[in-house]
A and B are shown apart, each in its own frame.
Chain A
Amino acid sequence: MCQINEEDDEAFQALKSGTNKGPISRKCVSCDQDACVVVRTADPMCRKCFEEFFIHKFRSTLSKSNVFGRGENVLLAYSGGSSSSALLHLIAEGLSVQARRRLQFQAQVAFIDESSLYSDVVSVREKVTDLITNRLQYPLHIVSIDDNLDKDDDFQQLLLERTKTLTAREELVRRRRLKLLFDIAIREKCTKLITGDNCTKLAAQILSDMAQGKGAHVALECNLTDSRNDLVTIVRPFREITSKEIAMYNRLNSIESLQNADISTMSGPQSSIFQLTETLVNDLQRQFPSTVSTIFRTSDKLEKNIRPERCDLCCCPLDINVDESLISDQNRQKLVHQLFTTSPNSNEPVHVCYACRRLLRDVQPNVQSH
């Protein structure tokens, strides 16, 4: 019998023997035990089988095409959210000496701290340090989202006052986060960057990217390995696991995620393209349970854009010709250099993709004219 009885949790369907009418007789699809976990209404599972299924899915994704080399330095992007918390847990288990098929890479963890953007938010640095450094004992790199910026180009002011839309704010933070993660990985000689992107989130991301003119990068953004950066490959071991499955796994293993402020929750009731899309995908998924997997399957049939010229903002291959992608406005060029490139020469030309060009239109580049 199962210990977990959380009736009102959407991700959960507790089956109490003898009380509820419907699910009493439901048995685990893989063994004959009573089921306590229902991820897809058609196949209830008992706890043991669910965990086996979940870990198997995770491990088989990782072992596909031998993503990691023995002893390779790998950076884990930890945000405190439920996905990356589950990821950390699984990897810690996989790396432990007792693991059945031990993972063979060397893990380090990166945490990008956004708390400096908001005035009355307590940083979660201490909690992160306690978990990663003290309990798991991995090398930890905490970097603030406005790290390495001069005093006079205040990222907070840029985002909250000079960026017109929440969509542009979210997308700027998303790109800068990735940029910082790449920087840490390169500095720490990590050749892989593991992220917790799950397939529910990626499905919303695919549509949201489509809506922002980023169709050229959809295939790259949901692939298991993403080589937009020549030195660091992004790996997404959760790409075939849904947010529901992750929530369930966390629940069963008492894995806690951190309450963390982000630009969306801090921007009030405004909506963004990503939020709108996420709502749509969740609504559709509720009515048509194959929505997420269909979006995902569609994008799996798409070819990656492999043009060698990259966008200076999102690091993806350019999808417009080089002339069109050149930023002519001096102030914008300077802005991109400050936020996204390590090149000391701010006169070097800046090229951006269609979507990033569109994004920059919502950003006022210089303080003076404000």
Chain B
Amino acid sequence: MPSATCVSCNGQRPAALVRPKTSEPYCKQCFFDAFEREIHETIVKEQLFKPGETIAVAASGGKDSTVLAHVLKLLNERHSYGLKLVLLSIDEGITGYRDDSLETVKRNQQQYELPLIILTYKELYGWSMDEIVKAVGRKNNCTFCGVFRRQALDRGAMKLSVNKIATGHNADDIAETILMNILRGDIARLKRCTLIMTGDESDDSEGSIIPRCKPLKYAYEKEIVLYAFYKRLDYFSTECLYSPNAYRGNIRTYIKDLERLRPSSIIDIIHSGEQLLVKQSTKMPVQRVCERCSYCSSMPICKACLLIEGLNKGVPKLGIGKTERYRKEMQKKDECCSDQSLCHCMKEKLTVNEHN
């Protein structure tokens, strides 16, 4: 729409883009302002941060976490949140895989002048993914990458004793997760996935892990891409080797189609998810805390600790036993990667949660 003028500054500047959220023409400056203001309003309204807190920004080098780091740094200064921000990256220790994205994160560190901490699986679990593959073979490594990846941020954050973790989950991710949880009947996660903050005082279903928040909860993926593009942010666009399984692929296409019919659909799904009330009588998994690592777990010892135990004792199949049959069934629907290749989809593993 080249001749249109920006709806926000009343034609002072020509429009440069159509805002995906509203389908209205915007100039670049007004789009930046609106995008940043909305995130600020979310942070204030949902009371995501308190002055003096140290926040670990989960940094993968991808667009979501890069935009998150950029915007949090900017808003922290603009509105004097009084936060100490650190970038936290996880290196799984897969030769050749993280190199490019970690380079991106390192450049981000300099561009944003934020401290960067890279924690390796070796430091967190005593084993790198390469070593695990060597020990268990390629067939079983998926169990490990799934379980370890889910816990890595929490373990890292506990190690650094930060107050909160901020992740780059955007509105599209959350809408997708809501629908996925309905389709696979996961009532416990259905409620939790709409929460903007988990693990804080208000969330009684969780053990004593570090609170997590999603400041981009209401930000459209398309707007994040536009923002990163026009701001010329340095991010690593992952050629995701992961091809979503039939189920998730269907849902993703469905959401894109919905967005085409009605751009507000993504926000509408989130509103729907937030309104769902779970019956009191519904059985919810009891959450307690792992005796070894104090990560939340439904068992006395969490899956990750069980797997580590197995690795250390030279019986890597420990922990892939009985529960694995169930896990296999889940993975038929929601396979994270094929048997012979390593799982290369950080974001996927953060949103694809499985039962422990």
In the complex, which residues 270-310 of chain A have their Cβ closer than 8 Å to any Cβ of chain B?
271-273, 276-277, 280, 283-284, 287-288, 291, 294-295, 297-299, 301-303, 305
Which single residue of chain A is at the shortest CB-CB distance from B187?
A301
In the complex, which residues 231-282 of chain B have their Cβ closer than 8 Å to any Cβ of chain A?
246-247, 250-251, 254, 257-258, 261-262, 264-265, 267-269, 271-280, 282
- Interface pair A276/B258, CB less than 8 Å apart: yes
Q: Which of A37-45, A63-71, A179-187, A206-214 contacts the other chain?
A: A206-214
B309 to chain A, nearest CB (A): 34
- The 10 A-B residue pairs whose C-beta atoms are closest, nearest first, are A215-B272, A213-B268, A216-B275, A303-B277, A294-B185, A215-B275, A210-B272, A301-B282, A213-B271, A301-B187
B330 to chain A, nearest CB (A): 12
- Interface pair A284/B272, CB less than 8 Å apart: no
Q: Which residues of A contact B275 (CB under 8 A)?
A: 215-216, 305, 319, 354
- Interface pair A218/B276, CB less than 8 Å apart: yes
B248 to chain A, nearest CB (A): 11
Q: Which residues of B contact A273 (CB under 8 A)?
A: 258, 261-262, 265
Which single residue of chain B is at the shortest CB-CB distance from A299?
B182
CA distance A212 to B250 in the complex (A): 18
In the complex, which residues 346-368 of chain A have their Cβ closer than 8 Å to any Cβ of chain B?
354-355, 358
A329 to chain B, nearest CB (A): 18
Q: Which residues of A contact B185 (CB under 8 A)?
A: 294-295, 297-298
CA distance A165 to B185 in the complex (A): 31
Q: Given that A272-B261, A273-B261 are known contacts, is A207 also in contact with B278, CB under 8 Å in the complex?
A: no
CA distance A214 to B261 in the complex (A): 17
Q: Does A260 make an interface contact (CB < 8 A)?
A: no
Q: Does B190 make an interface contact (CB < 8 A)?
A: yes
CA distance A211 to B233 in the complex (A): 32
Which single residue of chain A is at the shortest CB-CB distance from B182?
A298
- Interface pair A302/B278, CB less than 8 Å apart: yes
In the complex, which residues 53-74 of chain B have their Cβ closer than 8 Å to any Cβ of chain A?
none
The interface size bin for chain B is 35 or more
Q: Which of B183, B268, B269, B274 contacts A291 (CB 8 A)?
A: B183
Q: What are 5 A-B pairs with beta-carbon distances under 8 A?
A: A212-B265, A214-B272, A215-B276, A299-B182, A303-B278
Which single residue of chain B is at the shortest CB-CB distance from A355?
B268
In the complex, which residues 147-168 of chain A have their Cβ closer than 8 Å to any Cβ of chain B?
165, 167
- Interface pair A280/B271, CB less than 8 Å apart: no
Q: A301-B187, A319-B275 are in contact. List 9 more A-B contacts (CB 8 A).
A: A167-B262, A211-B258, A212-B262, A218-B272, A271-B257, A288-B333, A295-B183, A298-B186, A301-B278
Q: Given that A272-B261, A298-B190 are known contacts, is A280 also in contact with B276, CB under 8 Å in the complex?
A: no
B331 to chain A, nearest CB (A): 14
CA distance A305 to B268 in the complex (A): 18
Q: Which residues of B contact A272 (CB under 8 A)?
A: 261
Interface of B is mostly: helix
B43 to chain A, nearest CB (A): 21
Q: Does B195 make an interface contact (CB < 8 A)?
A: no
Q: Which residues of B contact A277 (CB under 8 A)?
A: 254
Q: Which residues of A contact B182 (CB under 8 A)?
A: 206-207, 210, 295, 298-299
Q: Which residues of B contact A216 (CB under 8 A)?
A: 272, 275-276
Q: Does B87 make an interface contact (CB < 8 A)?
A: no
Which single residue of chain A is at the shortest CB-CB distance from B265?
A211
- Interface pair A284/B183, CB less than 8 Å apart: yes
Q: Does B317 make an interface contact (CB < 8 A)?
A: no
Which single residue of chain B is at the shortest CB-CB distance from A283?
B250
- Interface pair B250/A271, CB less than 8 Å apart: no
CA distance A298 to B277 in the complex (A): 11
Q: Which residues of A contact B333 (CB under 8 A)?
A: 288
Q: Does B4 make an interface contact (CB < 8 A)?
A: no
Which single residue of chain B is at the shortest CB-CB distance from A354?
B271
Q: Does B179 make an interface contact (CB < 8 A)?
A: yes
Q: Which residues of A contact B254 (CB under 8 A)?
A: 276-277, 280
Q: Which residues of A contact B190 (CB under 8 A)?
A: 298
In the complex, which residues 180-237 of chain A have their Cβ closer than 8 Å to any Cβ of chain B?
206-207, 209-216, 218-219
CA distance A209 to B269 in the complex (A): 9
Q: Does B139 make an interface contact (CB < 8 A)?
A: no
- Interface pair B261/A294, CB less than 8 Å apart: no
Q: Which residues of B contact A284 (CB under 8 A)?
A: 183, 247, 250
- Interface pair A271/B261, CB less than 8 Å apart: yes
B194 to chain A, nearest CB (A): 9
Q: Which residues of B contact A210 (CB under 8 A)?
A: 178-179, 182, 269, 272-273
B329 to chain A, nearest CB (A): 11
Q: Which residues of A contact B257 (CB under 8 A)?
A: 271, 276
Q: Given that A295-B183, A303-B279, A303-B280 are known contacts, is A213 also in contact with B272, CB under 8 Å in the complex?
A: yes
CA distance A303 to B280 in the complex (A): 8
CA distance A287 to B332 in the complex (A): 12
Q: Which residues of B contact A298 (CB under 8 A)?
A: 181-183, 185-187, 190
Q: Which residues of B contact A167 (CB under 8 A)?
A: 261-262
Q: Does B37 make an interface contact (CB < 8 A)?
A: no
Q: Does B184 make an interface contact (CB < 8 A)?
A: yes
CA distance A216 to B274 in the complex (A): 8
Interface centre among B190, B251, B265 (most CB of A within 10 A): B265
A275 to chain B, nearest CB (A): 10
Q: Which of A212, A283, A287, A301 contacts B268 (CB 8 A)?
A: A212
Q: Which residues of A contact B258 (CB under 8 A)?
A: 211, 273, 276
Q: Which residues of A contact B278 (CB under 8 A)?
A: 301-303
B184 to chain A, nearest CB (A): 7
Which single residue of chain B is at the shortest CB-CB distance from A281?
B183
Q: Which residues of A contact B269 (CB under 8 A)?
A: 210-211, 213, 215
- Interface pair B272/A209, CB less than 8 Å apart: yes
Which single residue of chain B is at the shortest CB-CB distance from A294?
B185
- Interface pair A302/B276, CB less than 8 Å apart: yes
CA distance A298 to B276 in the complex (A): 11
CA distance A305 to B276 in the complex (A): 9
Q: Which residues of B contact A354 (CB under 8 A)?
A: 268, 271, 275
B279 to chain A, nearest CB (A): 5
CA distance A280 to B254 in the complex (A): 7
Q: Which residues of B contact A301 (CB under 8 A)?
A: 187, 278-279, 282
CA distance A218 to B267 in the complex (A): 17
CA distance A273 to B190 in the complex (A): 22
CA distance A24 to B212 in the complex (A): 58
CA distance A210 to B183 in the complex (A): 12
